[in-house]
Amino acid sequence: SDDNNLNETNKEKEEDCDECWLRRFLKKGGCKDEFIEVDHCEDSKKCRDARLKLNTCMYANVNYYGQYLAMQKAMFTQSLKDLEKGEEAAAAAAAKNEEEEETKGK
């Protein structure tokens, strides 16, 4: 039937999707329901609560989700380092501009 063909097409597209392996991984663990709640979430307050439940569940199931959590931590840490570098560069640029302004004023 057409429904079966459509389901097979959607399944093939999902398998080709770069993020789909992660979605499948998250759904296979003990936090499937929490992941689905986050995945279908639209309201910001409810989404925040749903993400908190998912994170709590993943840390409670660290044997399965440990690698994913370590990857998330590494990405978050790198983002913070990049942010700090950007702030340092902005502060240095502001100091240089201030110094140039003072030099022009003399």
For the chain, 106 residues long, the average pLDDT of each consecutive 10-residue run is: 54 63 91 94 90 96 95 93 90 84 74
The pLDDT of residue 3: 55
Task: Determine the Cα–Cα distance for residues 87 and 91; give it in Å rounded to an integer.
Answer: 6
Domain spans, the chain? 18-105
Q: How many residues does the chain have?
A: 106
Asked whether the beta carbons of 59 and 50 are under 8 A apart, the reply is no
The pLDDT of residue 74: 94
pTM of this prediction exceeds 0.75: no
